[in-house]
Amino acid sequence: MRAVLDHIGIAVNDLQSALAFYRDALGLEIEASEEVVSQHVRTHFLAVGAARLELLEATAPESAIAKYLEKRGPGLHHITLRVADVRAAVAELKTRGVKLIDDDPRPGAEGSLIVFVHPASTGGVLIELKQNP
């Protein structure tokens, strides 16, 4: 499997203050915004070279992002690596005993298929694996 850095997810409490830094101070531009209903989040992607930053807002209290913000406050949430075949990646990781949060890929932003790898198997980093449509 060959993984490429796709984006870095950042949980935000207040989108406007996040944009005051990432957009206004750093000059990054929002390329796409989307509500991912299944995950109760709204995502905003900003281009940074070949990769992107993903600002994540919770849209419901049961959102994983809402729970994260409650527990840890805003900040670095996950790193996303893009793979060609997420199902093959899952099979490979399972044979290696890697702990996954999702047993099967599920829909992510922009029509992608995603799974999350448990931080217990990654040295404490929440890793999302993504396959583009």
Site for Co ion in 9-28 (CB under 5 A): 9
**CB 57 within 8 Å of CB 42:** yes
Closest residue to Co ion, judged by C-beta, is 9
In the chain, the amino acid numbered 54 is E
Size of the site for Co ion (CB under 5 A): 3
Nearest approach in angstroms of CB 85 to Co ion is 18
Q: How far is CA 98 from CA 22, 45, 122, 131, in A?
A: 34, 28, 8, 19
Nearest approach in angstroms of CB 65 to Co ion is 10
Q: Is 106 helix (H, G, I), strand (E, B) or coil?
A: strand
**CB 65 within 8 Å of CB 109:** no
Site for Co ion in 30-89 (CB under 5 A): 54, 80
Nearer to Co ion, 19 or 51 (CB): 51
Nearest approach in angstroms of CB 95 to Co ion is 25
Q: What does the binding site for Co ion look like in residue numbers (CB under 5 A)?
A: 9, 54, 80
